[in-house]
């Protein structure tokens, strides 16, 4: 059964907020030295990729609303199935450069769809 787009976007926003929360005030060195932090962040990225995969399937307009939607879904696939190829420095780059942009795009979309969202 297909869920409402806003529910998916809320899930996506929560995972992105968790990534930001987990890494706030941290450096790359912190990230590299704390295994549980890396695991927690990767788990949230898996959720992000799964949500993006579903919304692109059910709501084709996603590809015009979310930059690099396919790459995000592909990253989830790497985390789950090709985990040995994960480069922690690349994950950190995504955290610092891509997560804020994606969060802004999701925020904008949620504001349009959900009057309760602020």
pLDDT tens across 24-54, in order?
999 999 999 999 999 999 999 999 999 999 9
Q: How many distinct structural domains can be found in the chain? A: 1
Say which residues have a Cβ less than 8 Å from residue 9's Cβ, sequence separation at least 6. 51, 55, 106, 109, 110, 113, 114
pLDDT of residue 2: 56
Residue 53 lies in a domain: yes
Residue 104 lies in a domain: yes
pTM of the model: 0.92
| Whether the predicted pLDDT of 56 surpasses 70 | yes
pLDDT of residue 115: 81
Residue 118 lies in a domain: no
Residue span of the structural domain in which 49 resides:
5-113
Question: Are the beta carbons of 114 and 6 closer than 8 angstroms?
Answer: yes
Residue 29 lies in a domain: yes
């Amino acid at each position: 059964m297909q869920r409402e787009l806003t529910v998916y976007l809320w899930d996506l926003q929560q995972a992105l907020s968790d990534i930001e929360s987990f890494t706030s005030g941290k450096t790359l060195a912190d990230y590299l030295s704390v295994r549980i932090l890396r695991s927690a962040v990767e788990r949230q990225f898996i959720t992000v990729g799964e949500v993006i995969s579903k919304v692109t399937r059910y709501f084709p307009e996603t590809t015009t609303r979310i930059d690099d939607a396919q790459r995000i879904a592909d990253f989830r696939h790497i985390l789950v199935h090709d985990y040995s190829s994960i480069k922690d420095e690349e994950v950190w780059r995504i955290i610092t450069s891509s997560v804020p942009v994606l969060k802004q795009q999701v925020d904008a979309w949620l504001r349009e769809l959900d009057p309760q969202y602020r």
